[in-house]
Structures are given as C-alpha cells and as structure tokens.
C-alpha cells in the first residue's frame, strides 16, 4: 500500500509543478501588462499637459 501512494504522488507531481509554473508566468504577464499600461498613461498625461490639452478622459468637445 505504501508504494501505491508513492506512485500517486510521483504521477501527480509533474502536473502540479507545471500548473504552478504556468500560473506564475501568467500572473507575471498580467502584472507586467498592467504596469506598462499605467506607465504609458502617465507619459500620455505628461505629454498632454505639456501641449496644454485637456486630460484624456475628459470630454471637452463643443456640442
């Protein structure tokens, strides 16, 4: 019976490790994308301020 549980553990271990690596990589990609978008938004805001334009989210068009 002891070898049965050892076989179960050894057969599930690669799947669990690959799942952990996949989750880590996916999380890193999502965090990287979020921080990159934040940086681009900050740069765009600075450039709009330099040119005297309103912030990107505001709607100042004449109706």
Tell me the pLDDT tens digit for each residue of 17-29. 999 999 999 999 9
What ranges make up the beta strands (E) of the chain? none
Query: Token pair of 21, please?
Result: 């690596």
Whether 53 is covered by a domain: the verdict is: no
pLDDT at res. 57: 76
**63 has pLDDT over 60:** no
Distance in angstroms (rounded) separating the CA atoms of residues 36 and 27: 14
For residue 39, the enclosing domain spans: 1-48
Total domain count for the chain? 1
Task: Indicate the average pLDDT of the chain.
Answer: 90
Decide if pLDDT at 8 tops 80. yes
Q: Which of 43, 41, 39, 42 is nearest to 31 (CA)?
A: 39
């Amino acid at each position: 019976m002891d070898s049965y549980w050892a076989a179960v553990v050894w057969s599930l271990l690669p799947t669990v490790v690959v799942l952990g690596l996949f989750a880590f990589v996916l999380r890193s990609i999502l965090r990287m994308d979020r921080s990159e978008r934040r940086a681009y938004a900050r740069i765009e805001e600075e450039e709009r301020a330099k040119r005297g334009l309103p912030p990107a989210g505001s709607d100042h068009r004449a109706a």
